[in-house]
C-alpha cells in the first residue's frame, strides 16, 4: 500500500508573518489523524522557522531545490547536508521552473537526485512535458527520457527511496489541470517504466490542483497524491486537498 502524499510547494512566496499565520491555521485543521502524509516546501530562508513551528506536528518539511555538490565554492547553493540539519525529509529536484529558468538538464537533475539521497533526503523528482511536446505527441517520450536519466545515474532500486511528481508544464500555474484520464495515462506509463519497483514508488500529480479537482485526480489508480503550488498558499484550500487524499 502506498501512503498518499500531498506536498505544498510555496515557491518564492511567504513572509515570516504570513507563514506563521498559515501554520497556525493549518495546524488547527490538520490534526495528523488522517492517513495521508503532508509536507511543506517553503523558500529555504524559512526552513528554520518552519522546523520550529512544525516540531511535534504531523507535517513534514521539504526543500524546493538542492545542490548537486557536497560543499565548497558554489555561491547561492544549499547542500543536502544543510537541508538535513533543518529536518528536511524531501527535496524537490527538476521542477520545471528550475529546468526552464535555470536551464537545468536531465543530467544535472539526476546529480541532484543522487546528492539528496546521499544525505538521506527523499528526492521528489518532477517530470513533465511542455504544451508543444504534448501537441507533438511526445509526452511519453519526454517523460520517459527524464525518468531514465535519473534511473541510469542513481540505479532503478534508488527510485524506491524517491517520490515522482508528474507535472505537465502546461498545467503549472495556468489554471489548466490535466484531466484525470490524461494524468492517469502518464502515471500508468511512469509506473510501467519503473518495472519491478513500480508498486513501491509514489507518483504524485502536480499542475493547478485545486480542492475541486483533487478528489477525481486522487481516485485514479496510479495517482498517489499531489504536488501543489498556487493552492497551497491558502491553508484552507491546501487542507481540503489533503483531506481529499485520504
Residue numbers annotated as active site: 95, 167
- Dihedral sign, Cα of residue 52, residue 204, residue 5, residue 214: positive
Q: Which segment (23-31, 32-40, 215-223, 225-233) binds ligand PEP by CB under 6 A? A: 225-233
Q: Among residues 130 and 197, whose Cβ is nearest to ligand PEP?
A: 130
How far apart are the C-alpha atoms of 157 and 161, rounded to whole Å?
Answer: 8
How far apart are the C-alpha atoms of 178 and 67, rounded to whole Å?
Answer: 30
Residue from 68, 116, 147, 227 in contact with ligand PEP (CB under 6 A)? 227
Q: Extract the C-alpha cell encoding 40.
A: 511543506
**194 is a site residue for ligand PEP (CB under 6 A):** no
Using an 8 Å Cβ cutoff, are 26 and 235 in contact? yes
Beta bridge partners of 63: 91
Using an 8 Å Cβ cutoff, are 241 and 226 in contact? yes
**172 is a site residue for ligand PEP (CB under 6 A):** yes
**Minimum CB–partner distance for residue 196 and ligand PEP (Å):** 28
- Interface pattern 8-47 for ligand PEP (x via CB under 6 A): -x--------------------------------------
- Interface pattern 131-170 for ligand PEP (x via CB under 6 A): ------------------------------------x---
Q: Where are the beta strands (DSSP E) in 70-211?
A: 88-93, 122-127, 163-166, 202-206
According to CB under 6 A, which residues from 80 to 109 bind ligand PEP? none
Nearest to 13 by CA among 35, 54, 45, 42: 42
Residue from 121, 209, 214, 244 in contact with ligand PEP (CB under 6 A)? 209
Kind and range of the H or E element at 107? Answer: helix 106-118
Residue from 228, 242, 244, 245 in contact with ligand PEP (CB under 6 A)? 228
Binding footprint of ligand PEP on the chain (CB under 6 A): 9, 167, 172-173, 206-209, 227-231
Amino acid at each position: 500500500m502506498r501512503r498518499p502524499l500531498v506536498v505544498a510547494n510555496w515557491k518564492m512566496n511567504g513572509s515570516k508573518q504570513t507563514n506563521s499565520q498559515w501554520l497556525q491555521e493549518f495546524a488547527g485543521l490538520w490534526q495528523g489523524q488522517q492517513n495521508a502524509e503532508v509536507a511543506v516546501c517553503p523558500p529555504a530562508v524559512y526552513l528554520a522557522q518552519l522546523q520550529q513551528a512544525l516540531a511535534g506536528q504531523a507535517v513534514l518539511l521539504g526543500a524546493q531545490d538542492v545542490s548537486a555538490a557536497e560543499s565548497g565554492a558554489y555561491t547561492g547553493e544549499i547542500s543536502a547536508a544543510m537541508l538535513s540539519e533543518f529536518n528536511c525529509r524531501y527535496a524537490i529536484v527538476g521542477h520545471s521552473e528550475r529546468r526552464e529558468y535555470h536551464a537545468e538538464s536531465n543530467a544535472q537533475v539526476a546529480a541532484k537526485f543522487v546528492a539528496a539521497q546521499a544525505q538521506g533526503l527523499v528526492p521528489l523528482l518532477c517530470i513533465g512535458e511542455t504544451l508543444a511536446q504534448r501537441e507533438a505527441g511526445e509526452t511519453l517520450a519526454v517523460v520517459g527520457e527524464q525518468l531514465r536519466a535519473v534511473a541510469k545515474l542513481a540505479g532503478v532500486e534508488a527510485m524506491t527511496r524517491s517520490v515522482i511528481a508528474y507535472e505537465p508544464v502546461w498545467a503549472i500555474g495556468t489554471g489548466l489541470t490535466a484531466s484525470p484520464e490524461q494524468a492517469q495515462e502518464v502515471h500508468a506509463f511512469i509506473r510501467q517504466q519503473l518495472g519491478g519497483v513500480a508498486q513501491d514508488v509514489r507518483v504524485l500529480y502536480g499542475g493547478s490542483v485545486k480542492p475541486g479537482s483533487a478528489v477525481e485526480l486522487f481516485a485514479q489508480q496510479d495517482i498517489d497524491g499531489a504536488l501543489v503550488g498556487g493552492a497551497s498558499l491558502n491553508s484552507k484550500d491546501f487542507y481540503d486537498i489533503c483531506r481529499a487524499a485520504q
